[in-house]
Amino acid sequence: MEVYPLARNAEVPMDLLLTADPSEKMVREYISRGICYVAKEKDLIIGIYVLLPTRPETIELVNIAVEVTSQGKGIGKQLIFHAIETAKQQNYKTIEVGTGNSSIGQLALYQKCGFRINSIDRDFFTRHYDQLIYENGIQCVDMIRLKMDI
């Protein structure tokens, strides 16, 4: 697997990005300000993540997604560690990530990678998304923000 920044003029794998965030408007907005990194195997994109500078010395992992057929093989974890290394190389001191209160697997994954819960943005999803989101039988309403000093 090779991971590298997607060229500015390259076509963005929107379907894959939308598996991590159902709002195309939100996705288009942050990819215009951040950098997409893609993971390729045999010329096929199997994963993606987006890093978005937010404040001085702070960068946010705003979207991470692995193709369904490649999930559960450790690729998500590898991409998170790649994102952390990329942020370190660019001299960021803090990396943040946010996920929904209903995203149980993602909350487990981020904590397994060393992120710690920092704050809760209450009602984030009801404020910013038109559609109702349900996962694991739980309505997604709050954004759980996690961070790591790097």
Distance CA 146, CA 44 (A): 30
Q: 127: which 2 tokens?
A: 């404020």
- What is the DSSP track for 61-83? EEEEEE-GGGTTSSHHHHHHHHH
Enumerate residues 106-125 that contact ligand COA by CB under 6 A. Answer: 106, 108-109, 112
Q: 81: which 2 tokens?
A: 């560690």
In one-letter notation, the amino acid at residue 142 is: D
Closer to ligand COA by Cβ: residue 58 or 71: 71
User: Whole-number minimum distance, CB 77 to ligand COA, in Å?
Assistant: 4
Q: How many residues bind ligand COA (CB under 6 A)?
A: 20
Among 3, 36, 52, 66, binds ligand COA (CB under 6 A): 66
Closer to ligand COA by Cβ: residue 13 or 76: 76
User: Whole-number minimum distance, CB 137 to ligand COA, in Å?
Assistant: 13
Q: What string marks each residue from 69 to 108 as x (binds ligand COA by CB under 6 A) or -? A: --xxxxxxx---------------------x---xxxx-x
CB 4 within 8 A of CB 43: no
Distance CA 106, CA 12 (A): 23
CB 94 within 8 A of CB 53: no
Residue ranges that bind ligand COA, judged by CB under 6 A:
19-20, 64-66, 71-77, 99, 103-106, 108-109, 112
